[in-house]
Amino acid sequence: MTAPVGRIALIGTGLIGGSWALALRAAGLVSGPIAGCGRSPENLETARERGIIDTFTTDAREAVAGAELVILAVPLGAIGPVFGRMRDTLEPHAIITDVGSAKQGVMADARRMLGDAAERFVPGHPVAGNERTGAEAAFPELFRNRQVILTPDDITAGWASDRVQALWEAVGARVVRMTAAHHDDVLAATSHLPHMLAYSLVDTLSRWSDRDEVFAYAAGGFRDFTRIASSDPEMWRDICAANRDALLTALDRYMADLGELRGAIHAGDTARLEEVFVNARAARDRFLAMLES
């Protein structure tokens, strides 16, 4: 039985952070107040109205005072500065965790900014979400049957990792652990690259001279493929910067294959085109079967 958490500091009250807070409440795992912190008083007020948080402040130092658990759910570029601001008011045994989509840079920030408290930082990434943002988008079922990746390293306290894993599992998530480097390579291919493709396609089409007609005749396939281009630009700017090397590798591999596909189209090599399409369909079918198992 997972023990409830007393005071929680939720730094960032958007879709991911807000949904985890709601899920923890729904599971009966919050026995004290949740203090929210963010840049937008309007979003913080929405979070309080929706029961995500009980109180709020725009000062991270104030938010983490007395907290047993600190959840960082802010853009990757903001995590290092937040570490620095909150370090002096952290409780001696407070656990810190995050939900960022790239891990190596965050872990380096923790070692540099948190001092001894870095051993209580448990890097995490829930592989869940959608293109909506803000406290209004949060809902408690977001993580049910979804994967959460933890990337503790050799300085991370085992008891802290176990506590964070138990809290995720208590809200219905499936937790796996891996190294930060492996996480960043895998997510560059499966999450970061697809977002780059969607953003790039929509941006390209938006600058065509006949863009109004192009969008007017776009059907469901275009809508489905480009849905993630409605995601938070600030968040994805920071992800590109934080996971640059792995993302560049993924982009280079994709661009090489795209060049080969263009060559097949130019040459009229329909056999090669069909081979690509058959392989892609079979691979996607296997992926869907994995999700359903």
Contacts for 217-226 with beta carbons within 8 Å, 24 or more apart? 225/198, 225/201, 226/198, 226/201, 226/202
In this structure, the number of other CB atoms found within 10 A of the CB of residue 48 comes to 17
pLDDT at 219: 78
Model confidence pLDDT, tens digit, residues 33-73: 999 999 999 999 999 999 999 999 999 999 999 999 999 99
pLDDT in tens, 225-239: 899 999 999 999 999
Q: What is the pLDDT of residue 1?
A: 78
What is the Cβ-side half-sphere exposure of residue 30, based on CA atoms within 13 angstroms?
A: 24
Is 5 or 290 the better-scoring residue by pLDDT? 5
Q: What are the CA-CA distances from residue 237 to residues 27, 75, 118, 177, 232 (Å)?
A: 34, 9, 26, 26, 9
Q: What percent of the chain has pLDDT over 90?
A: 90
Q: In this predicted model, what pLDDT tens digit does every residue of 132-186 receive, in sequence order?
A: 889 999 999 999 999 999 999 999 999 999 999 999 999 999 999 999 999 999 9
Rounded Cα–Cα distance for residues 120 and 70 (Å): 10
Q: Which of 234, 224, 181, 168 shows the shortest CA–CA distance to 201? A: 224
Q: Are 180 and 208 in contact (CB under 8 A)?
A: no
52 backbone dihedrals φ, ψ, rounded to 5°: -75, -45
* Mean pLDDT in residue range 11-35: 97
In the chain, which ranges are continuous DSSP H helix? 15-26, 41-49, 60-64, 76-86, 104-113, 158-170, 180-187, 193-206, 211-216, 220-226, 233-242, 244-267, 270-292
The letter for the amino acid at 55 is: T
Q: What is the mean pLDDT of residues 198-210?
A: 91
Q: How does pLDDT run across 257-292, given as a tens digit for each residue?
A: 999 999 999 999 999 999 999 999 999 999 999 877
- What span, in angstroms and rounded, lies between the C-alpha atoms of 69 and 34? 10
Neighbours of 228 (CB within 10 A): 19
SS3 69: strand
Q: How would you list the strands of the sheet with 121-122, edge to edge?
A: 55-57, 34-37, 8-11, 69-72, 95-98, 121-122
Q: Which is nearest to 231 in space by CA: 192, 188, 189?
A: 192
Residues β-bridged to residue 57:
37
Name the phi and psi angles at 9, rounded to 5.
-110, 120
pLDDT > 80? residue 293: no
Across residues 15-43, what is the average pLDDT? 97
Per-residue pLDDT, averaged over 90-118, amounts to 97
Side-chain-side CA neighbours of 49 within 13 Å: the count stands at: 8
Domains of the chain plus CATH, in order, are 8-178 (3.40.50.720), 182-292 (1.10.3660.10)
Q: Cα Rg for the chain, rounded, in angstroms?
A: 21
